[in-house]
Amino acid sequence: MDTAVFAPASPSAPHWADWLLGDAPEQRLWLTRLLRVGALFLALDLARALGVVFGLVTLEDMAPLLAYDVVVLAAGIALIRSGWSAKFEDPALTMPLVALGLLGIALAYVRVDLGRGALLPLAAVVLVHGMHRLTPRQTLVSAGALLVVLSMAAAMMALLSLQGLNLAQEAVDLGVAALGLPALAAVASRAHAVLQTHARQRTELRQTLARLETLTTKDALTGLANHRHMLHLLDVEILRHSRQGRQFSIALLDLDHFERINQELGRARADEVLRQVGHLSTAHLRASDVMGRWGGEEFMVLMPETDLAGGARSLERLKEKLYTKLGFYREGRWVPVNCSAGVTRYRTGETIHQMLERAEQALRTAKANGRNQVVSS
């Protein structure tokens, strides 16, 4: 009895579509649209090639059209796929490709009789595919220019008495196409309006999501991380510690005698002091450190990859910066605002609550010992 042998599957090569279209969603969309229209041009070229086989078209007439279509399609794909077109306002190169497509249609109209009836519908397809990036004016001007060129070409061929041209039929076809221009303008205008509406809605949605994210992660007064977000960051840091052994420290910082500031200067001035704390602290902390408003006049500083001694030094520097920069004028005299802080390091296996309790105890000790100091625990 024969035994089937199955070879192990080899790593699959990248799918040809991924290789051709790339990974960026917008780039894939632009190239897909280009390939759709290009496929129609190549299908018409294939019909002309069959015409050469059956003696309906000469190779001299067909070959330049095929070469033109292949070069334009290949160039469009290469410029978009390589990212070269990204430096332009329209990375999809819509207007140049539409113009080249309509030029190819005009050349085919003059050069080959076979398939001439399919050229106007093909032009409509080109314009429809361009509507997603062109303005209504650009669409209408492109269509009008093509009709003018084709009309002039038909008149010239009639004057030269070229064979294969039914002038009456061409006049009817071009006239019907001209009558369709107002409809094309209306459709283009409507399509442009819909696309503009969708673009505006996407922008508004992104802005709304950004505002919601800010509301859920930022303190409205100071712009610092809020209490909830700081808890989330602590969870993340503890998980990183459990996986990688990375130590970290936290500090609770409280403004000394803030109630007196609130009573003497009023809510607005007191709020301004809190905003200054956020601004000054962010400017003087490390890029990896995160400061958040823990509640009232109390703040938390999260210091990744920092031991207890390093955390204490960092808070001492911050306290000195706040002392020299933070304050208010009372009766023409500068009154600095002092702060106290409690620093602790995360210990393996403990909970967030245990770590916070230790930091709060260190802060209470700093307050009890006379304020304006940093205590480690």
**Residue range 282-299, pLDDT digits in tens:** 888 999 999 999 999 999
Residue 44 domain flag: yes
CB-CB contact of 344 with 359 (8 Å)? yes
**Between 91 and 111, the higher pLDDT residue:** 91
Residue tagged active-site, from 213, 259, 297, 360: 297
User: Do 188 and 303 share a domain, yes or no?
Assistant: no
pTM above 0.85, yes or no: no
pLDDT, residue 119, reads: 83
Q: Quote the percentage of the chain above a pLDDT of 70.
A: 92
Tell whether the model's pLDDT for residue 343 goes beyond 90.
yes
pLDDT band for 148, please (50, 70, 90 cuts). Answer: confident
Instruction: Report the DSSP pairing between strands 290-295 and 333-336.
Output: unpaired
Nearest by Cα to 66 from 86, 46, 95, 88: 46
Last residue of some domain: 208, 243, 262? Answer: 208
Tell whether the model's pLDDT for residue 11 goes beyond 60.
no
Can you tell me the mean pLDDT for 176-203? 79
Q: Which residues pair with 336 in a beta bridge?
A: 327
CATH number at residue 252: 3.30.70.270
Domain membership of residue 343 as a residue range: 227-376
User: Do 366 and 253 share a domain, yes or no?
Assistant: yes
Collapse the DSSP code of 287 into the 3-class scheme (helix H, G, I; strand E, B; otherwise coil) and give the result. Answer: coil
Tell whether the model's pLDDT for residue 323 goes beyond 70.
yes
pLDDT, residue 269, reads: 86
Q: Active site includes 350?
A: no
pLDDT, residue 303, reads: 96
**Residue range 26-83, pLDDT digits in tens:** 899 999 999 999 999 999 899 989 989 988 888 998 999 999 999 999 999 999 999 9
Look at the alpha carbons of 15, 20, 23, 26 in this order and tell me if their dihedral is positive or negative.
negative
Question: How many residues appear in the chain?
Answer: 377
pLDDT, residue 166, reads: 66
User: Do 24 and 173 share a domain, yes or no?
Assistant: yes
Nearest by Cα to 273 from 261, 264, 289: 261
User: Do 184 and 268 share a domain, yes or no?
Assistant: no
**Packing angle, helices 181-217 and 136-159, rounded to 10:** 150
CA 236/CA 212 separation, integer angstroms: 21
Cα dist from 32 to 39, 66, 129, 200, 260, whole Å: 10, 20, 11, 24, 67
Range of lowest pLDDT (47-51, 172-176, 239-243, 344-348): 172-176
Place of tokens 């007191």: 270
User: Do 204 and 250 share a domain, yes or no?
Assistant: no
User: Do 231 and 204 share a domain, yes or no?
Assistant: no
Q: How many domains does one find in the chain?
A: 2
User: Do 328 and 200 share a domain, yes or no?
Assistant: no
Residue 302 domain flag: yes
**Residue range 204-244, pLDDT digits in tens:** 888 888 788 777 899 989 999 999 999 999 999 999 999 99
H, E, C per residue of 217-237: HECCCCCCECHHHHHHHHHHH
**Residue range 303-316, pLDDT digits in tens:** 999 999 999 999 99
**Mean predicted lDDT score pLDDT of the chain:** 86
pLDDT, residue 2, reads: 44
CB-CB contact of 338 with 371 (8 Å)? yes
User: Do 307 and 364 share a domain, yes or no?
Assistant: yes
pLDDT, residue 146, reads: 83
